[in-house]
Amino acid sequence: MVLRPTPMSRIVLVGLKMDEDRLLSFLHDRGVVQVEPLSKEALAHLTPERAGEEHRRLAEEHLRFKALVAALPEVPVPERRHFADIPALLRAASQVTVDEQVRALKREEDALLTDSKSVEDDLRLVREYAFFPEDLSLLTARNLLSFFGEAAPDRYSSFRDEVASLSNEVLFVEQAWPRSVRFVLAVPRSKADAFGRVAQKHSVHLTAAPQLQGTPQQLAPRLERRLKEIGEKLATVHERLRSISLQWYTTILPIEEQLQVEARKADVHGRLAGQKSAFALEGFVPSPEVPRLREELERVAGGRTQLYEQPAGQDAPTLMRNPKGANVYEFFIRFFSLPVSNEIDPTMIFAVVFPFFFGLMIGDAGYAAFILAVCLWMIWRIGNPKAGRTYVPRFLVNFTTMVMPPPAMKQLAKCLVPGCIIGLFIGVGFDAYFGFSLGQITGGAFDFALWPGHNGLPGQVAYIAKLLLLSIYIGLAVVTLGLIFGAINKAFHHETKHVVAKVAWIIIAWGITLLGLSLIHHTYPGSWLITPNNPSANALAFQPFQYALIGLTLLAVVVMIATEGGLAAIELPSIVSHVLSYARLVGILLASVILAYVINLIAVIGSATQPAMVTHGVAFAIFGFILVLVGAVFNIVVGVFEPGIQGARLMYVEYFSKFYTGNGKPFKPFGGHRSFTLPQHTGRAVPAPASGASATTSPAPRTPGPT
């Protein structure tokens, strides 16, 4: 069912000890069972299994091979390898004897990299402070503290004066640059504390002078030669590592992957229990997978297993399976809270409603098209990190990645694409392009407006009354849908009284909203009617429809109080506020539209009483262009954050609060993907993928499906 997480079953698997390792390998590769600790009832008849010497040795070998894979350069692995059992795996591992060679080369590499970094730092300082004419060894006297420093000119002058006042034994050698002053400074050690306070006071950047012999002009060539020598030695070390990798990597990587599989199996092993010749395992499996899993277990174990299926219960994990396209909105659901396994999954409704909210709040074809282009670029760029250089400022990249990691950013961009497309169509309907009207600019030659502006005002302002009314009905529909889902959830749990209460809340929401609308605007059907004979229009007469509405609403209030208690009446104002809260859809739309309209009016369009800035000369025209550009950038930023945040907020607060419990536990099946080894219950060699993806990290468990 699309609107509910995948149903779960709790299974109990009983098998023979002789098949345990084979069955665990199969379950690992199948990836559909979340293994759980055995229940108290089962443990009353079985003994928990303990890790033995074999598991300890596997753990040690896994650490050893993990280090080897990290140390050696990658080379392609032409085919997958098969290990029949654990003894065969340990025999293969014992034949790898390059550990000491690799460790020695890595130690040498680390030492060379440390030396290279030290020489690079010294060379940079020598080049930057080449104006110092003396031998640097003079700066390493026993009674002196010596520093290389850099400071802004205004800070440097005050810093120098204050340091000079501390002692007459201070050495200053300086060179002025356009935006800074570089200097070499030596002070007596006896004045070290006072000098440190002065440097901190003036925020002067200092680096300890390197302990080198020779002038900067003499040292620079020496350090360059030293750096070249280190680079040649590093190249030799890397070549030796690559030579070892060419010989051993295709052997080491499959063994490391199989050891990783065995490590996962060892983690699960502690959750099993058994007797002398049998073992038992409990876990959760998606219900549609149970029949197929039973058949495959029979085939793998030769009919020597029993699989028992039980109701999942309240503690079942949650697996969401939404259609492609809608599943990207699971990002928002997980961010809020994962649904429990037996309640409504709101992803599909979120995938329909959120883009509409987002597009309506943008309401401008120009802004929507720009945000759409940025989202598509982000999806492409994050999915192709090696596509080439980007010209986005580095500080902006650092800021965005600090706020949200690239995978989450890509997911968010996918979520915004449908909303941008809807905003594009709505903007064309309102004839709004970055706050301008295409019909006005072209003199009506190109006018696609379905809801055109009037008297120079944008269409969104001209239709504000209808937009507000639309937002109220949208709010009423979404709140009603939330209450319906709440009633369905309660029906699943056979809580009839609460189902009746949810229906009563629906009647209350519709009754109060319709009465309120008829009071505000008397021209709607079934509204309050102004008495024609009363010229002051103060006397109001009820129609039969209103009597029925009021009576039904009051009856619903009584039913709600009877089913949920008197304190539930406190929530009556909230049902109205939740419906009215959807008026923010129009509020955010108008804020952006009016800001763009006012800026464009001042800078470009003008009015009968106030000509536009572009008509007052070149300087004003340039300033007007900058004003329009800044306003557009601001509106684009607001167009991303405000519709996104407020659209999600309307769903989280006014919609989810009517039915959503959350706090579900994610389904985490036992298993992982194999890239370089074959399952232990098969023996056929097949080509393996290139080793570009590192096998040193644990791949995420696959969602249940065909292996």
- Pick left, alpha or beta for residue 537 (phi over 0 → left; psi -120 to 50 → alpha; otherwise beta): left
- pLDDT tier for residue 607 given thresholds of 50, 70 and 90: low
Tell me: pLDDT of 618 over 60: yes
**Enclosing H/E stretch for 172:** strand 171-176
Best CA proximity match to 450, nearest among 434, 428, 467, 433: 428
Alpha-carbon distance of 127 to 119, in angstroms, equals: 12
Alpha-carbon distance of 459 to 427, in angstroms, equals: 10
Which residues make Cβ contacts (< 8 Å) with residue 467, sequence separation at least 6?
A: 460, 586, 589
Residue pLDDT, tens place only, 171-184: 778 888 878 888 88
- pLDDT tier for residue 271 given thresholds of 50, 70 and 90: confident
pLDDT of residue 474: 93
Which residues make Cβ contacts (< 8 Å) with residue 258, sequence separation at least 6?
A: 81, 83, 89, 677
Least confident segment among 17-21, 647-651, 703-707? 703-707
The pair of three-digit structure tokens given for residue 637, joined into one six-digit string: 């930023």
Alpha-carbon distance of 247 to 607, in angstroms, equals: 80
Q: What is the CA radius of gyration of the chain?
A: 36
Q: Across the strands, what pairs with 284?
A: 10, 34
- Sign of the alpha-carbon torsion through 693, 697, 703, 707: positive
Q: What does the pLDDT average to over 446-475?
A: 81
Alpha helix stretches (DSSP H) within 363-495 = 365-383, 394-403, 406-429, 438-441, 459-462, 464-492
Which residues make Cβ contacts (< 8 Å) with residue 264, sequence separation at least 6?
A: 28, 670, 671, 672, 698
pLDDT of residue 312: 84
User: Which tops the pLDDT comparison, 585 or 529?
Assistant: 585
Tell me: pLDDT of 702 over 50: no
- pLDDT tier for residue 416 given thresholds of 50, 70 and 90: very high
List of domains in the chain:
134-214 (3.30.70.2750), 344-658 (no CATH)
Q: What does the pLDDT average to over 64-86?
A: 91
Alpha-carbon distance of 480 to 484, in angstroms, equals: 6
Label residues 224-239 b or e (16+ Cβ within 10 Å = b).
eebbeebeebbeebee
Count Cβ atoms below 10 Å from residue 251 Cβ, excluding itself: 16
Alpha-carbon distance of 116 to 229, in angstroms, equals: 10
Mean pLDDT for all residues in the chain? 84
Q: Are 58 and 262 in contact (CB under 8 A)?
A: yes
Alpha-carbon distance of 207 to 182, in angstroms, equals: 11
Residue found under tokens 């009597």: 547
Alpha helix stretches (DSSP H) within 454-495 = 459-462, 464-492
Alpha-carbon distance of 483 to 477, in angstroms, equals: 10
Best CA proximity match to 526, nearest among 539, 517, 536: 517
Residue ranges with strand state E in 594-681: none
Residue ranges with strand state E in 497-619: 529-530, 540-541
Tell me: pLDDT of 527 over 80: no
- pLDDT tier for residue 692 given thresholds of 50, 70 and 90: very low
Residue pLDDT, tens place only, 467-495: 988 999 999 999 999 999 999 988 888 88
Q: Across the strands, what pairs with 666?
A: 318
Greatest mean pLDDT range, 32-36, 194-198, 362-366, 397-401? 32-36
Alpha-carbon distance of 684 to 686, in angstroms, equals: 6
Count Cβ atoms below 10 Å from residue 195 Cβ, excluding itself: 22
| Cα–chain center distance at 408 | 3
Q: What does the pLDDT average to over 237-247?
A: 95
Which residues make Cβ contacts (< 8 Å) with residue 23, sequence separation at least 6?
A: 13, 15, 297, 300, 301, 305
- pLDDT tier for residue 390 given thresholds of 50, 70 and 90: low
pTM, rounded to two decimals: 0.74
Residue pLDDT, tens place only, 83-140: 988 889 999 999 999 999 999 999 999 999 999 999 999 999 889 888 888 888 888 8
User: Which tops the pLDDT comparison, 533 or 482?
Assistant: 482
How buried is 336 (Cβ within 10 angstroms: 0-12 exposed, 13-18 middle, 19+ buried)?
middle
Tell me: pLDDT of 9 over 90: yes
